[in-house]
Amino acid sequence: MAVVNGARVAAEIEIAALGKVFGQGEAAFHALKNINLKIATGEFFTLLGPSGCGKTTLLRVIAGFEQPSTGALAINGRQVAGQGPNKRPVNTVFQSYALFPHMTVAQNIGFGLKMLGKPRSEIDATVAEMLRLVRMEALAERRPSEISGGQQQRVALARALAPRPRVLLLDEPLSALDLKLRKEMQGELKRLQTETGITFVFVTHDQEEALTMSDRIAVMSAGRILQLGSPDEIYNAPVDRFVADFIGETNFLTLPVAGVSGDQAHLDLPGGTSAPARLPAGLAAAPGSSVTAVIRPEQAEIAPAEGADLTAEVESATFFGTDTHLHLRLSDGQPFILRRQNRPGQPPIAPGTRLGLVLAPGALQVLRD
Amino acid sequence: MSERGAFSVTRIPGFGLIAITTFVLLYLPIVILVIFSFNEGLSQSVWEGFSLRWYEAAFANRQVRDVSIRSLWLAGVAAGLATVLATLAVLGTTRVGRFRGQTMIYALINQPLMVPEIVTGIALLIFVASIKVQTGYTGMGYLVAAHTAFCIPFAYLPIRARLETLDPALEMAAADLYASPVQAFRHITLPLMVPGILAGFMLGFVISLDTVVITEFVKSAGQDTLPTYMLGQLRRTITPEMNAIATLFLLLSLVIVTAFFLITRTRGR
């Protein structure tokens, strides 16, 4: 069983204490370190991290292109460590698509079923269904070199979905597409996942892509999973400095602890007030010590300086269309970025202006470091 | 402002002259050879009018026909064997991880490109002579073996170039789509290698067709190929019949080399 966003559901993939080492002795490189992960059936699960964080290696281990050095890997309740990729009920959409250049679109899509020894009639029916699913019926007899990048992407998806795998692995499948097409394919992927009900494991370095598409996200760095949670948790309650910094823009404040009650700490703010902040599980913050807390730029509002949580001076302002980023210096010298929604007729704020800020309730999150 | 373009060889003084001289030296002798194959008379230097009589003579010459057939047969068999061996060698040296002595293996496979042909020829002469004495066998086997070995690197190089341009993800995708290693090879790797294999075969074929030295040292009596026959004839008198044979030979080589280029150019498809 896997616990997904509070609910208990059947686990499609179970990874326990999994490690992957390349090379030996002095030159050994630990690509994956003690990965523990349960991915639920029908989940859209994302591995997010910068290049070299181990996310693609983890995907390759699940696919069977790499074997784990240590630990266990089960798919649909069966141990698969040691099995080759052709023995696993898992299909991959490759970053380069890897369409077979000497075969037509239809032959590409039918390849998996052909290798499984399915009868001709079943292959034809499934290929037709897949072509319809990815809206490529008109191009069935084309070669991959004769269709566009976005169309190749759809064929790669259809080819991987045709054998109806338990799990679909997607290795940065949208990275080669331009922005407009990428947005379109994000919606398309979500639709395909909902329609087929297949578990998707999606690898990306694009945090926005991860936030918009996923049921859950695992943020990875240096071969470890730093945080695992829903997009909302990852964005609003990062427990790790790397996670907070990697996802979106955020403010890091060093603040003294006034008191602790349960999983909440009360932090003294420079303005003289105090505010509650969530503590990461297992972190004991002693009153009187200092902790690092994060708050997103949109979770503070301008208020009269009298009675405000923070007071600050505006150093510069950057216009972003829908909003303006105000770069502030707090009264205790720490920098702070404030995102202010742009509205018609709203007077601009000039550098040098002194402001008061109030923080949205529950906006502060203490980091583990 | 001074011009700060990249270095260009075309701006060296005399570039045009050097280029033209080079092309003249490359092609003028061949052009002359071809022209005089159509000469009415016996002369190689005085034009006496257009005629196809030397071509008729060449086609009527039974010996020319025999050595031509032997040459084509030998080139086909040797290039075919060399292509099979080279394909296996390519698969053994590029679709496996890096291994100790890999560069050494490349060098060993390419022996005929490094060892002077005359050295190989003399070595083969001595080697083959001793086997002939021991076994009494004097058939075409020696020539086939010698030509096959000589053709391997010429077949190996284009096949390897082709395999190295293949995205390894294609084989991974095949495995991912439930193909066993043998199925992945048969359905994906091998079909995609075909242009390289054809190119390798054709290069090997032309090389076998052209080689004089190896054949000269290995052949037994009555095993002349077209080049060794022509060489033998030149020791006597040179008639324009030789020009005609040479021109036809040239034409055959050009056709094969052109086919080679067309095949390698469409490799991306």
The structural domains of chain B, with segments of one domain joined by +, span: 54-268
DSSP track, B68-120? HHHHHHHHHHHHHHHHHHHHHHHHHHHSS---TTHHHHHHHHTHHHHS-HHHH
Contact between A235 and A299 under an 8 Å Cβ cutoff? The reply is no
Whose tokens are 């293949």? That residue is B166
| Structural domain that includes position A321 | 249-366
pLDDT of residue A182: 86
Name the residue in chain A with its Cα closest to that of B169: A98
pLDDT of residue B4: 58
pLDDT of residue B266: 63
pLDDT of residue A85: 92
Give the domain-ending residue among A223, A243, A263: A243
Query: What is the SS3 assignment for B114-130?
Result: HCCHHHHHHHHHHHHHH
A chain contacts of residue B186, beta-carbon cutoff 8 Å: none
**A358 to chain B nearest CA, in Å?**
53
**B79 to chain A nearest CA, in Å?**
26
- Statement: B54-268 belongs to CATH 2.40.37.10: no
Query: Contact A163/B177, CB-based, under 8 Å?
Result: yes
What residues does A9 pair with on adjacent strands? A2
pLDDT beneath 70, residues of chain A: 1-9
**Rounded-to-integer distance, Cα A63 and Cα A36, Å:** 17
Give the domain-ending residue among A243, A269, A292: A243
Structure tokens given for B236: 């006597």
Query: What CATH number is given to the structural domain containing A347?
Result: 2.40.50.140
Tell me, yes or no, whether A148 and A204 share the same domain: yes
Tell me, yes or no, whether A253 and A231 share the same domain: no
Query: Contact B178/A115, CB-based, under 8 Å?
Result: yes
pLDDT of residue B13: 85
Tell me, yes or no, whether A285 and A361 share the same domain: yes
Contact between B175 and A86 under an 8 Å Cβ cutoff? The reply is yes
**Rounded-to-integer distance, Cα A148 and Cα B250, Å:** 44
Interface test with A, best of B177, B188, B269 (most A CBs within 10 A): B177
b/e per residue, B100-109, with b = 16+ CB within 10 A?
eeeeeebeeb
**Rounded-to-integer distance, Cα B229 and Cα B223, Å:** 9
Q: What is the ipTM of this complex?
A: 0.81
Question: Quick check: A65 contacting B, CB < 8 Å?
Answer: yes
**Rounded-to-integer distance, Cα A88 and Cα A79, Å:** 10
Please tell me which of the candidates B169, B180, B183 has its beta carbon nearest to residue A98: B169
Provide the residue-wise pLDDT of chain B in tens; the chain has 269 residues: 445 567 888 888 888 899 999 999 999 999 999 999 998 888 888 888 898 899 998 889 899 899 999 999 999 999 999 999 999 999 888 877 777 888 888 888 888 888 898 998 999 999 999 999 999 888 899 999 999 999 999 999 999 999 988 888 999 999 999 999 999 999 999 999 998 999 899 999 999 998 999 999 999 888 999 999 999 888 877 788 889 999 998 998 888 888 888 877 764 44
**Rounded-to-integer distance, Cα A125 and Cα A25, Å:** 52
pLDDT of residue A120: 94
**Rounded-to-integer distance, Cα B217 and Cα B137, Å:** 16
Q: How many domains does chain A have?
A: 2
**Rounded-to-integer distance, Cα A204 and Cα B234, Å:** 72
Q: What's the N-to-C CA distance of chain A in angstroms?
A: 30
Question: Quick check: A147 contacting B, CB < 8 Å?
Answer: no
What residues does A169 pair with on adjacent strands? A92, A201
At B115, which amino acid appears?
A: V
Tell me, yes or no, whether A238 and A312 share the same domain: no
Query: What CATH number is given to the structural domain containing A80?
Result: 3.40.50.300
b/e per residue, B240-252, with b = 16+ CB within 10 A?
bbbbbbbbbbeeb
